Structure 1
Amino acid sequence: MFRVLDVDAAVPTAPLDPATVLAGAPAAGSRALAAVSGVEVGVWEMSPGTATDVEVDEVFVVLSGSGTVTFEDGERVDLAPGTVVRLRSGEHTTWVVHETLRKIYVA
């Protein structure tokens, strides 16, 4: 049986830890949609602002919004609907969100 995952479902967000915020007052949150063979599929959202993060193993596809993610080695990826990105556990990143960013992730 096929089931449709509701990628438009509301995502509960909360202000980010002030120690990670570099600009603005971004809030973020996620909502798990399914678990497949021990892998989580969900939706994540972040409002405008700039924040740092330490990543988990993940692949994601941007559903809406815009921004950039910069990796500690200097690589920068522009984020827009349809962009696919691979994150690796332990990577340090900086997220700059211009328009509320919404992604579906597999982690």
Structure 2
Amino acid sequence: MGLPPLPTPRYRRYLNGHQSNLDRAISQEVLAERRRIDRKMDDLLAYRLPDPMIYDSLKSSLRKVHDKMDIHRSLLDRYSAIDMHDGGLTVEDRINAKCREVSDRMAR
């Protein structure tokens, strides 16, 4: 003959302890938050190339800035009127003369 059958347990064993409705609700909130964070992480980790139109607009705006800088540079060269061949004046004297000239213009 064989062995007698094992007795059935009279209590229920919970591995993580007894869960109340509050514990289940909290765990559902935690799981939902984890899923939300995982979705964000997936978006962060998945590299996507930007739209090529961004580069076109960036290049065109950079070209406009360069054109404006060229115009300003040429105007500065044309109207600066600093004669670098003034023999007797030092650089400090020329700067002071330019500052006086600008202040006279602003006072008008």
TM-score using structure 1 length: 0.16
Higher relative contact order (CA 8 A, sep 6+): 1
**Higher-Rg member (1/2):** 2
TM-score using structure 2 length: 0.16
